[in-house]
Structure 1
């Protein structure tokens, strides 16, 4: 109640005016201070973010580091590396010329044979009987001719003595000619029968290595059989078939005409036997863009076997002023192959190139003059026009 009485107490004279005047002044002062503070903050924000405000400093990304090499122009042998297969230059599938039963085999499978060596003997009993009959027929015809000759000689003498007519003499002469024709036919029969007997002995036509034997004593050998008696392959000299890109064909033809080709094999044991070019194909394969080539190599040590895979190195003359680069400098994109050339201002320029061939771990290219600085390492993430910092030299 005391507190309530205090609250209800009327102000004293002069006290109410001073309190009422003090309160608005304090409130106004606070509001003005707040407005001034907020205005100052807004002005500061506008100054910091407005069009005339200074942008904050941006840190520049460092230029990528690259190593550089120089495109070299040099005289380079035209060397083409290819993969090929060994093929025999002389191979014979041995078959009988006449049918007959195999009587004897005179060699073993896988054996080296010489030309003229007897390999098979067929049963020649029937052929020998025919030869005997032919010889008998020829002997009979010979006797008849001799008798006709004697009769002709007697008829000539009798004709001179006018004991027989001239027509009888002519008849005797015609008989001699007829019997001589019969004798010629009989001798031909003898020759044919003799050949039939000789064909029962089958000899090797070439020096070579015998393969798998497909008949044995007692087998029937026929000229029309699907499998040959045996296959002989000459091993002294072997061929190698391979193909080269059609772009290298003009150089190969020019080198072959000037007898400047050089062909070597790259043996697994490090050997590099040298061979001789024997064939350049007569058509380019449109599916692969290549042309077939064949070379021959001596094979006295028997290291080359038919069907084996080999690597071939073909040199076809000299290319003057070829531009070469390390292989890793040539990149490939949607528009083809290219390199990054460093300009004088430190920026790179994407230069399209054509890859002529790969040789000795170097790329032979077209599209550069030679002497241009080319990015060797660090080119994978570059873009055309990018600035770079050279930190070293790449492989030369």
Structure 2
């Protein structure tokens, strides 16, 4: 087959496509530049609008001749001296202040006794309840007494027999002595009979001791309380065989009326406390709970230990408490406040009013000024101070961090502050519910527990899904419009979605033109 050269391709279509591509690129560049220019113009317009709004707001907040606008100038108005800061205030007074020493202590029972059986046997009766208060000598339990009763009967029989023998020997000795006086019997026989009488007397005395021992063992089958106090938990049940060697015994009794508190004090107070104890002076002691919010009891210091612990530099002390209401228990943890002195008629302020040895004094014109003070002892929510303060003065107790010298303040009651704080806490803890719930359903949900509320909303969601989703249920009404709006707007949202749907239809026409 002869070779035939291919005809040369015309460059007209290629040149045409290159022209179209350059035209498209030029058009895209123009569109991009226009978009950037529009964005810059919009940003500048928005910036000018914000500046104009700020200027109008500042002009509206400027103080007028009447001063009414100055009071509404916002949170920074205090810097201009025109806004009064809300604060709480307390009163300076004059009172007696206690000098207290704080310590950590443990309650100790005045006496403790473990009730044990003194004889071995089966436990047949219990006459107490755990936790009861008992008196000394009160019957607590009974052990099977039959074997001990039999032993008593046996020794009593022997005792009676020996008593009879002694009586007979004594009568024979009397007759022998009469015959001896008549010289009708040998002296040796009289002496032998007298020795026999003494032998029987010893036997009878031994028998009597055995009877007493048997009676004592029999009495031990009735277990009684050795001391008065409170019973602990039972350590043996009916039917158990108890022994005197049992470590836990039957029950434990602790004497807690009165009760003692044992705690440690710094050695610096030893000399003062020893002198006051020797002078028979009362040293009041208070017991407080673990959080130091509730006082448990009041008592007085009884004694100090005779040595100081060299490792801690403290000395042990013991205080006594009546504990009539039985609120204190043995081995209970307590906070101890020992009064070592009393300061009379000293100036005091609330503890919350002191900040870095300064207080803010409220003047008659409701302005504040700083006063330097020297802080003394603290007793409860009051602290003794020395400085330029007089009884009856008012000092700021809440809101100190927002004040400066000469600031204008408005006094609000502390109970109102507590009410506001409580309202905020209640609002924060309230359950969050959908907005479109009916009032009756909202009230019902508000009274539910978290578990019931969760189950309630879960059930509503299931019912909404079973009905076809959409607008049913508490959240469907809100979600349906959003779904419809998103569906109408197309994949890119807004009005541009309509144009995007027409683009695929126009594409074939352009291709055909090419």
- In the TM superposition, residue 77 of structure 1 has moved relative to its aligned partner by 5.7
1: CA distance between counterparts of 2:304 and 2:268?
14
* 1:228 corresponding residue in structure 2: 249
2: CA distance between counterparts of 1:133 and 1:302?
49
List, as ranges, runs of 4+ consecutive aligned residues in structure 1 with deviation greater than 4 Å. Answer: 75-78, 267-272, 317-320, 326-330, 361-364
Secondary structure of the corresponding residue to residue 108 of structure 1: coil
2:158–2:207 contact (8 Å) kept in structure 1: yes
1:289 equivalent among 288, 310, 313? 313
Q: 1:165 to 1:316 in 2, by over 3 A?
A: farther
> Which structure has more strand as a fraction of its residues?
1
2:99–2:377 contact (8 Å) kept in structure 1: no
> Which structure has more helix as a fraction of its residues?
2
* 1:86 corresponding residue in structure 2: 107
* 1:360 corresponding residue in structure 2: 379
Q: 1:155 to 1:276 in 2, by over 3 A?
A: farther
1:273 equivalent among 261, 284, 297? 297
- In the TM superposition, residue 167 of structure 1 has moved relative to its aligned partner by 2.5
Counting only pairs closer than 5 Å after superposition, residues 123-202 of structure 1 correspond to structure 2 as: 123-202=144-223
1: CA distance between counterparts of 2:302 and 2:148?
44
* 1:303 corresponding residue in structure 2: 327
- In the TM superposition, residue 226 of structure 1 has moved relative to its aligned partner by 2.1
2:284 equivalent among 259, 262, 268? 262
Counting only pairs closer than 5 Å after superposition, residues 1-396 of structure 1 correspond to structure 2 as: 78-260=99-281, 261-266=283-288, 270-271=294-295, 273-317=297-341, 359-360=378-379
2: CA distance between counterparts of 1:132 and 1:80?
66
TM-score normalised according to structure 1 size: 0.61
1: CA distance between counterparts of 2:241 and 2:169?
46
- In the TM superposition, residue 269 of structure 1 has moved relative to its aligned partner by 6.6
Secondary structure of the corresponding residue to residue 252 of structure 2: strand
Give aligned pairs, total: 275
Larger Rg: 1
2: CA distance between counterparts of 1:160 and 1:81?
92
Q: Give the structure, 1 or 2, with the largest relative contact order (CA under 8 Å, sep 6 or more).
A: 1
* 2:10 corresponding residue in structure 1: none
Q: Deviations over 1:139-167 (max 9, x none)?
A: 11111110111011001101000011222
Secondary structure of the corresponding residue to residue 234 of structure 1: strand
- In the TM superposition, residue 286 of structure 1 has moved relative to its aligned partner by 1.7
Question: Runs of 5+ in structure 1 lacking a partner?
Answer: 1-74, 331-356, 365-369, 372-390
- In the TM superposition, residue 317 of structure 1 has moved relative to its aligned partner by 4.8
Q: Deviations over 1:52-83 (max 9, x none)?
A: xxxxxxxxxxxxxxxxxxxxxxx986531212
1:255–1:317 contact (8 Å) kept in structure 2: no
* 2:398 corresponding residue in structure 1: none
